[in-house]
Amino acid sequence: MRRRRTAIDVYTAIKDMILTGKLRQGSRLSDQELALELGVSRTPVRHALGNLEQEGFLSNVRGRGYQIHDPDAKEVADLYALREVLEAHAVRLAVERVGPVDLAEFAEVLATIEQLQADPAKRGEEIRVGLRVHEILARASGDAFLHDTMVRLLNRMHFFIWMETINEDSRAAAATRQQHNTLLECLRTKQPDHAEELVRQHIREAKQGILRILAARDAFYQPMQDVRTAAPAGV
């Protein structure tokens, strides 16, 4: 007998379909079709779509319903610039205020990532676990408002973070893991300057990675658009 889906299950299922590309950027979503596919009523689907709009995954187009948000380079650059400012501030506070529970959880996350990275099939799970590093840093800052803002921002950026990390080559992925390990050591040994430098470097590299992906996507589709819109010869 199939387990009954909760509202959280429905939200998670739709979000995963967006993150993994099952639902394509720019495509319109039908709450009726999603409800049929997930085996639920339309009510939890509509609630999930509303939450995903607030988090930046969807756009609500008047008269056309929801469609998957299609980001541009400026939006990505702005979000990553904001994240750099907030996370650089958070990590400096975390170095001062981090406690044994935070350090233990950080180390546990890194150990889990180490286990998952050996299996390419678990890359998606590794990315999800890796996101906890940034949430732990925000929490360890001891600033509840900063923590809340960082969590909201990271939720808004999930799609970009997923897109960037899923396209990492093995060398870039190894460099990210090393940055995380060094960051933990900075927290343990109270090195705020080095910790901030690592965070800024990590975020800037991630931003450049996603911008390269967007540029490649635009370059791929542009010639097709040019062909469709080009005037016939002799006109």
Give the global pTM: 0.77
List the domain range (segments joined by +) for residue 21.
7-68
Number of domains in the chain: 2
pLDDT of residue 219: 76
- pLDDT (average), residues 31-56: 91
Q: Pick the last residue of a domain from 34, 68, 102.
A: 68
Based on the fold, state whether residues 31 and 92 are members of the same structural domain.
no
* Alpha helices in 98-169, H assignment, sequence order: 100-116, 123-140, 144-156, 158-166
The domain that holds 143 is classified in CATH as 1.20.120.530
Q: Note every long-range contact of 136-140, with CB atoms under 8 Å and residues 24 or more positions apart, other chains counting.
A: 136/102, 136/105, 136/106, 136/109, 137/87, 137/90, 137/91, 137/94, 137/183, 137/199, 138/87, 138/90, 138/94, 139/102, 140/90, 140/93, 140/94, 140/97, 140/98, 140/99, 140/102, 140/187
* pLDDT tens, position by position, 135-187: 999 999 999 999 999 999 988 888 788 777 777 777 888 888 899 999 999 99
Distance CA(203)–CA(88), nearest Å, equals 10
Based on the fold, state whether residues 34 and 138 are members of the same structural domain.
no
Higher pLDDT, residue 16 or 149? 149
Q: What percent of the chain has pLDDT over 70?
A: 90
Q: Pick the last residue of a domain from 47, 68, 89.
A: 68
Q: Pick the last residue of a domain from 68, 95, 111.
A: 68
pLDDT of residue 160: 80
State the pLDDT confidence band at 235, using cuts at 50, 70 and 90.
very low
